[in-house]
Amino acid sequence: MTKGKWLVIGISGVTCSGKTYLTNRLHKELKNSIVIHQDNYFLPKDDPRHTKIEELNHFNWELITSMDMDKMRLDVLSLIESSPNENNFSKTINKNILILDGFLLFKCKTISNLCDRKYFITLTKEQSWERRKNRTYDPPDVPGYFEKAVWPEYLKHKDELMKDKDLYETITFIDGSKSKEEIFEIIFAEIKKLLS
């Protein structure tokens, strides 16, 4: 497999930390970029593979098993292995850019290993809840879901990242309480350096 023509950027982090905003902003500025969102790989609501939280009578959407990661991995690999249509890409830049975003992105070893740069945006529990409580999800969060599933699963995931020394050393952690524009500027500057 060759990914020599691709620069792969991975954006992950806690719920409501600004991952999608950042991804879309980078995509807009980086003309040679393609985006793949992990959120597009959630299993359908009626899929038997979902894990139910009995006390909430609600599925746990915070688990990697709530997504079709085989499909995402295959989509990413087939894109990298394909030759992009030259007409879509600028001749002045010799790399095409793949931006991957998802709250459990680095849990998939194959995808994580493909990323040339890995960013993980953090927030405190209070900041995360403050943003999440005003968001609409499909299916909607039930009362207690943030406390019972969202936050504990995030802490578990972050803890796994910290304990995996090799992975941890490749991730840039970013304080999500900074303004969205400031976070964008930090990452955009790094990517421009990588492309120069």
**Coil, helix or strand for 3?**
coil
What percentage of the chain's residues is helix, strand, coil (to nearest 5)?
45, 20, 35
**Given a cut of 70, is residue 1 above it in pLDDT?**
no
pLDDT at 195: 87
Which domains occur in the chain, in start order? 3-195 (3.40.50.300)
pLDDT at 95: 80
Q: Quick one: tokens of 99?
A: 């931006």
Is the CA virtual torsion 23, 102, 44, 154 positive or negative?
negative
**Given a cut of 80, is residue 4 above it in pLDDT?**
no
pLDDT at 85: 52
% of the chain at pLDDT higher than 90:
85
Report in angstroms the alpha-carbon separations of 7 from 18, 75, 94, 191, 194.
Answer: 21, 16, 10, 9, 9
* Span 148-171, average pLDDT: 96
Strand pairing partners for 185? Answer: none
Q: Could you tell me if 65 and 127 are in contact, meaning their C-beta atoms sit under 8 angstroms apart?
A: no
Q: What is the pTM of this model?
A: 0.91
* Span 137-159, average pLDDT: 96
Element (DSSP H or E) covering residue 109: helix 109-114
Is the CA virtual torsion 131, 185, 111, 87 positive or negative?
positive
* Span 64-91, average pLDDT: 80
Is the CA virtual torsion 180, 32, 78, 164 positive or negative?
negative
**Rounded Cα–Cα distance for residues 129 and 77 (Å):** 35
pLDDT band at 196 (very low <50, low <70, confident <90, very high): confident
Which sequence positions are flagged as catalytic? Answer: 39
